[in-house]
């Protein structure tokens, strides 16, 4: 089949806490698109919506055929950028407005997943002022998360009262509302999902084993040699299959599109499938050399350039 050459605008950078990772993802995507023969317009997105609209709709060059959205974090993957692209009428990769907004809001994603029968850790959304006035609502061990950041930005594991004091000393810069969750001990698992319309397929299960880190945090994600990726995960087959099934269930419940990734914890001290818990859905997974989506796609027979082409062939199209 002859590949149809397209004009592709790659959105990257931005101003979220994940700017640097986004630039790497975008650079990798641009390289692949060029190798595939597409016309590439690389855009480092600034905080200027009018300028971005003008760049994407220049009469002299015409609109891009499709946007490859390589932005990570707020604005880029929380429905904001998706809404702008819907407004100007350009197809774009990954999930649409609603699914992006749902998945980026961790408490809301938990509600949606739970309604679809996907087990989540017990959690409480609470304001920072309420914590100051009354203390933390759970006893250690628990996890503190920003309600709407990606790449584990701001996530803290509290194992003891000493950890609480350290967090208070470090300060908090991620907003007035936080999510407090019961800590699930055990294995860290992740599953990439590719979908289009009502069809969705889980690619594989990877176990993540950070070296010298309490969990798969930002540094462990994006620093070479910091985390061992065990692909496929060496876990019981029933747990493996259930992680694959629940990933698709959560993906569909949120209304995701294109590529996404579901994260889990599995407590192997519990019988059967009782220890498997869904944590969150990432609707725009990283595309860096250390990223999990490209790794799982290659394992499933879809090398990086083919994955990029698949994304172009299955965009979200404005109504």
Residues serving a catalytic function are 18, 151, 222, 261, 263, 280, 282, 286
What is the per-residue burial (b if ≥16 Cβ within 10 Å, else e) of 154-190? bbbbbeeeebbeeeeeeeeebeeebbbbebbeebbbb
């Amino acid at each position: 089949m002859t590949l149809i050459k397209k004009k592709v605008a790659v959105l990257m950078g931005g101003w979220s806490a994940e700017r640097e990772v986004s630039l790497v993802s975008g650079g990798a995507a641009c390289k692949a698109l060029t190798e595939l023969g597409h016309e590439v317009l690389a855009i480092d997105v600034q905080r200027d919506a009018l300028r971005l609209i003008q760049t994407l709709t220049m009469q002299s060059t015409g609109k891009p055929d499709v946007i490859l959205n390589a932005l990570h974090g707020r604005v880029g993957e929380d429905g904001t950028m998706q809404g702008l692209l819907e407004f100007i009428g350009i197809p774009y990769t990954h999930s649409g407005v609603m699914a992006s907004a749902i998945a980026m809001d961790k408490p809301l994603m938990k509600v949606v997943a739970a309604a679809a029968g996907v087990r989540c850790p017990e959690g409480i959304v609470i304001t920072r002022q309420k914590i100051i006035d009354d203390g933390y609502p759970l006893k250690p061990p628990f996890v503190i998360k920003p309600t709407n950041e990606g790449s584990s930005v701001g996530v803290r594991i509290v194992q003891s009262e000493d950890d609480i004091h350290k967090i208070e000393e470090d300060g908090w810069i991620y907003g007035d509302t936080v999510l407090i969750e019961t800590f699930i001990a055990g294995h860290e698992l992740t599953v990439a999902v590719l979908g289009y319309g009502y069809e969705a397929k889980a690619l594989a299960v990877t176990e993540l084993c950070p070296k010298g880190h309490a969990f798969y945090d930002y540094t462990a994600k994006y620093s070479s040699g910091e985390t061992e990726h065990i692909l496929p995960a060496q876990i019981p087959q029933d747990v493996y299959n259930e992680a694959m099934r629940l990933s698709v269930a959560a993906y569909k419940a949120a209304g995701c599109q294109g590529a996404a990734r579901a994260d889990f914890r599995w407590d192997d001290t519990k019988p059967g499938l009782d220890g498997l818990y869904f944590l969150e859905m990432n609707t725009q997974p990283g595309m860096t050399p250390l990223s999990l989506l490209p790794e799982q796609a290659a394992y499933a027979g879809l090398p990086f350039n083919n994955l990029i082409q698949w994304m172009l062939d299955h965009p979200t199209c404005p109504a």
